[in-house]
Amino acid sequence: MILLLVAAGAAVGAPARFLTDLVVAHYAGRFLPWGTLVVNVFGSGLAVFLAVAVTDADWTALLVTGFCGALTTYSTLSYETLLLVENGRWRHALWNVAANLAGGLAAGLLGFALAHLLTA
Amino acid sequence: MPDTSQPPHREPERRPPLRHALRSASVPALAAVAVGGAIGALARYGLTVAFPASPGTFPLATFTANTLGGLLIGVLMITVTEVAPGLGRIRPFVGVGILGGFTTFSTYILDIGRAANAGATALAVVYAFATMAAALLAAALGMFATRRLLVRRRA
Percent of chain A with pLDDT over 90: 98
pLDDT value of residue B3: 55
Give tens-digit pLDDT for A88-109. 999 999 999 999 999 999 999 9
Does residue A72 belong to the interface with chain B, where contact is any CB pair within 8 Å? yes
Residue B104: closest CA among A105, A10, A74, A65: A74
Which segment of A27-36, A96-105, B6-15 scores lowest on mean pLDDT?
B6-15
CA distances from B31 to A97, B8, B36, B38, B64 (A): 30, 49, 8, 11, 27
Q: Which of B41, B48, B136 sits opposite A7 (nearest CB)?
A: B41
Query: Residue A61 and residue A64: Cα distance in Å, rounded?
Result: 6
Lowest model confidence (mean pLDDT) among A49-58, B13-22, B33-42, B85-94 = B13-22
Closest by CA position to A71, among listed A1, A14, A22, A8: A14
Mean pLDDT of chain A: 97
Does A47 sit within 8 Å of B45, measured CB to CB?
no
Q: How far is A61 from chain B (nearest CA, A)?
A: 9
Asked if B73 lies within 8 A of A78 by C-beta distance, the reply is yes
The interface pTM score, or ipTM, of the predicted complex is: 0.96
pLDDT band at B10 (very low <50, low <70, confident <90, very high): low
B63 in reach of chain A (CB within 8 A)? no
pLDDT of amino acid B154: 46
A22 reaches B (C-beta below 8 A): yes
Under an 8 A CB cutoff, do A75 and B24 touch? Answer: no
Q: Which residue has the higher pLDDT, B25 or A99?
A: A99
Any chain A CB within 8 A of the CB of B36? yes
Report H helices in B23-120: 27-50, 60-78, 100-102, 106-117
CA distance B150 to A63: 40
Length of chain A: 120
Is this prediction's pTM over 0.90?
A: yes
Helices (H), chain A: 2-28, 34-53, 57-60, 69-71, 75-86, 90-119
